[in-house]
Structure 1
Amino acid sequence: MPLTQQSQDQQLLDKLKPSRIILPVLIGIGVVGFMFWRSYQPGDLAPLRNAKEQWLVITFLVLIARDLGYIYRIREISERVLSWRQSLDVIMIWEFSSCILPSAAGGTSVAPFILNKEGITLGKSLAYVMVTALLDNIYYVIAVPLVVLWAGEGLFPEELKGAFAASIRVAFVVSYISVTLYAAAMVYALFINPTAMKRFLVRLFSFRLLRRWRPSAYKHGNEMVAASAQLRGNKAGYWIRTAVATAFVWTARYLVIGCIIAAFIPINFGEFWVIFSRNMIYKVVLLVAITPGGAGIAEGAFPTFFGRFIGTPTMTNFVILFYRIVTYYLYLVLGAIFLPRWVARVFSRPAATAE
C-alpha cells in the first residue's frame, strides 16, 4: 500500500530524531576512551607541542572546501532549482542523516524525501539522488586503479596478517568489481535502455529465492525509468560541472586524514599519498559497518590503516579523536542545529507531488 504524505513525513522525522545522536556518540567515545585507557603512556603526546599550525589551517580549509563543494554540487545536480540556502540545508541534513544511520544505508536512504520537502517532485528527487550515487561510484572506479598504481603493496597495511589480510583484500576487490558493475548498470539504465533494465530486474527477482524482493525490484525499476526521463535532456555542461564537483569533494574528503597527521607528525610526500590511497580500503571497511555512521568501527579500524604513520598508540588515539571530531561529531552538532530550523521551514508547506 502506498504511503501517504503524512506517513512519509513521519518516517523521515523518525529517522532524523536528534535523540539518535546519543548512541553513536556513546559507541565512538567509548571505543576511543577504551583505546586511550589501554595504551596511554606518559610523554606519548609530546608531538602535540610541535603541532604545525599551517597544516591545521590546511585541514580546516580542506573541510570547508569539501562542504562548499557538496553545496555547489547539489545545487548543480538539482539544475539550480535549489537556492544556496536550500543547498546548505540539504547538505547539512544529508550529512547528519549519514552520521546517525548505518553506513550501508547512509543519508542516501532519506535524501529523496529531503529534496522532496524542498519543493522538488519525488521523481526528480530520485533522479538527482541517482546522479549523486552514479558520480560517486564513477569517481571510485577511476580513482582506485590510480591509487593502486601509486601505492602498490603499500596500499594494504603490513599489520594485516593471515586470513584477515586475505579477507580485506578479497573484500576490496569484490567491492571494486561490484561498484564498477553497478555504475555500468546505472549508466545503461539511465541513458541507454531503462525499460530493458526494469524488465531484467523484475525477471531476475521472479526466481523463487529472490521473489520476496520482487516488489522492491519493480519499484526500483520504475524509479530508473522516471529518472532517465528527467536526466536525458541535460547538456554536456551539466555533467562536466557535476563530475568536476564530485571529483573535488571526494578528493578533499580523502585528503583530511593525511592533513591531520601532517599537522602533528613529520611525513614525506610519498607517505602522504599512501595515506590518501589507504582511504580507499578504509572506506570499504566503513561501508560494511552496521553501527550509526560507522561509530566504533571507524575508531577501531583506524590504527590498522594509519597507525604506523603516527607512532605511539596514544598519539594515534589522539589523531583518531581529532579526526572524528572534525568529520563526524561536528556534523552531529551541526545537524542538531540545522534540523529544527529546516523542519520548521519545510514542514510548513506541502511537499511537491507531481512527477
Structure 2
Amino acid sequence: MKVDKEKVFKTLNPNKVWIPILIGVGIVAFLFYQDDTVTIDNLSLIFTAKVVPVMLAFLVLFARDVGYVYRIRTITSEKLSWKSSIYVIILWEFASAVTPSVVGGTPVAIFILMKEGLKLGKALAYTMVTAIFDNLYFVLVAPLIFLIAGGEIFPENSAIDSQFGKSLPVLFFISYGAIATYTLVMAFAVLVNPRWFKWILLRITSIKWLRKWRPYAYEQGAEIMMASKELRGKKYSYWIKITLSTLFIWTARYAMLNCVIEAFTNQNFGQHLVIFARQVIIWITMLISPTPGSSGTAEFIFTQFFREDLGAVTFISNIFWRLMTYYPYLFLGALILPRWIRRVFFEKKTKK
C-alpha cells in the first residue's frame, strides 16, 4: 500500500474546517427558522442549565478522550509515547471531522502513525484493529438497546417519516446490516484467516465482469495479510485491554448527551436509557452521511429523534451536543496540525 502524501494533506487542511461549519450553521439556522417551538425566549433557557450535569458532561468528554489516547497507546503495544498518542488522536478526529462519514479518516490515520515512527504493516494493523473494535461495539450493543428501549427508540411523527414513510427504521437496519457484515468479515480476515480471505477476493475478481477490480483485490488481500502478521501472537491481556477501553470510550461518548439533556430537564433512569439507546441509532444512521463529519445531517437527525420528548430545549441541547462532541476537534486539529508537521518533518530530521 502506498500512502498518497498529497491526498493526505488535502484532507489535513485547516481551511477545510469552514466547510462543515457552514453546513452545520446552515442546517441549524434552517431548523431555527422552520421550527415554531424555537423562540428567543426558549433560547434564554440556556441560562437555566444546572451546573452539576454540565460539569459532568465536560468530565465525561475529557474521560473519553483520555480513553482514546490510552487505547491507541495500548493497541501499538506502547510503541507510541503519550505525546505521540495525543497527536494521533487529535489529528485522527480532525480527519474524521473534515471528511464524509462514508469515507472516514483511516488513510490519514495510517499516514500519521507512520510519521510517528511505525512501519506500514504496524500502522495498517493498528488502524484496522481500531476500526474493527469501534464497529463491534455497535454491532453488539445495538441488539441490546433494542431489548432495553423497545419501541421508544425511533421517534414518532418526525419530518422524515411524514415525507418518506417509516424510513428511519429502514435506514437504520440497512446501515446496521452493512456495518455488521463488513465488521465480521474484516475481523475474520485480520484476526482469523487472512490467506483464505485473500483467496476469496481473488476468486471473486476472476469473474469476467469483475476482473478490472483484481489489482485492487490483490492489494487489499496483501494488506490484510500484512496486518494480520503484525497482530499474531498477541497476549489475551492485550485484547482484553482494547475491549474494555473501547467499551469505556463509546459509553462515555454517549453518556455526555445524557448529562447535557439532564442539565435542562429532569429525566428518570428509564428515560436516560432511551436517550442512550437513541444515540446508538443516530450514530449508525450518520455513517452513511455524505457531508464532512456528518455536519448538518447530525443536527437534523438529532431534532427528529428528540423533539417530541424535549420540546423547547431540543434546539439548545442539539447545539450543546455538537459544540462539545464535534466542533472542538475541528479547531484543535487546525491548531495542532502545523505544530505536528514541524515536529515530524523538521524536528525529527534535525535530531537525526
Q: State the TM-score, normalized to the length of structure 1.
A: 0.92
1:242 maps to what in 2?
A: 242
Q: Which residue type is aligned with residue 55 of structure 1?
A: P
The structural deviation recorded for 1:46 is: 4.8
SS in 2 for 1:189: helix
CA contact (8 A) 1:97 1:107 kept: yes
Q: Within 5 A, what are the aligned runs for 1:2-81?
A: 3=2, 8-39=4-35, 40-81=38-79
Equivalent pair of 1:71/1:84 in contact (CA under 8 Å):
yes
Q: Residue 88 of structure 1 aligns with which residue?
A: 86
Summarize the Cα distance change of 1:268–1:165 in structure 2 as closer, same or farther, 3 Å threshold: farther
Decide which moves more: 250-259 or 114-123: 250-259
Distance 1:171 1:249 in 2: 25
Query: Which deviates further from its counterpart, 250-259 or 183-192?
Result: 183-192
Looking at structure 2, the residues matched to 51 and 202 of structure 1 have their Cα atoms a distance apart, in angstroms, of: 58
Summarize the alignment of residues 1-355 of structure 1 with structure 2, pairs less than 5 Å apart: 3=2, 8-39=4-35, 40-160=38-158, 161=161, 164=164, 166-312=166-312, 315-348=313-346, 349=348
Paired position in structure 2 for 1:353: none
CA offset digits 1:313-348 (Å, max 9, x no partner): xx3222222211111111111111111111111122
Q: Which runs of 5+ in 1 are unaligned?
A: 351-355
Distance 1:210 1:261, change over 3 A: farther
Sort the Cα spacing of 1:17 and 1:42 in 2 relative to 1 into closer, same or farther, 3 A: closer
Q: Take 2:206 and 2:155, find their aligned partners in 1: how far apart are those partners?
A: 42
- The two structures, once aligned, show a CA RMSD in angstroms of 1.8
Tell me how far apart the structure 1 counterparts of residues 219 and 298 of structure 2 sit (CA, whole Å).
33
User: Which stretch of structure 1 is more off in the superposition, 160-169 or 147-156?
Assistant: 160-169
Contact 1:47 1:265 in 2 (8 A): no
Helix, strand or coil at the partner of 1:44: helix
SS of the equivalent of 1:267 reads coil
CA contact (8 A) 2:175 2:288 kept: no
Gaps of 5+ in 2: none
Change (3 A) 1:120 1:158: same
Contact 1:55 1:260 (8 Å CA) reproduced = yes
User: Identical aligned pairs, as a percentage?
Assistant: 44
SS of the residue aligned with 2:295? coil
In 1, the alpha carbon distance for the partners of 2:21 and 2:209 equals 39
CA distance in 1, matches of 2:200, 2:344: 38
The answer to whether the 8 Å contact 1:111/1:129 transfers is yes
Matches of 2:165 and 2:132 in 1, distance apart?
A: 29
Amino acid at match of 1:222: A
**CA–CA separation in structure 2 for the residues paired with 1:148 and 1:284:** 14
Separation in structure 2 between the aligned mates of residue 163 and residue 316 of structure 1, nearest angstrom: 21
Offset of residue 47 of structure 1: 3.3
- Distance in 1 (CA, whole Å) between partners of 2:307 and 2:291 is 22
Deviates more, 1:270-279 or 1:172-181: 172-181
| Structure 1 residues 272-322: Cα deviation after superposition (integer angstroms, max 9, x where no partner) | 11011011221122111111111111111111112223212xx32222222
Query: What CA distance in whole angstroms lies between the structure 2 residues aligned with 1:318 and 1:95?
Result: 24
- In structure 1, what residue type is equivalent to 2:248? F
Residue 220 of structure 1, CA deviation: 1.3
Aligned residues: 344
- Indicate conservation of the 8 Å contact 1:267/1:309, yes or no: no
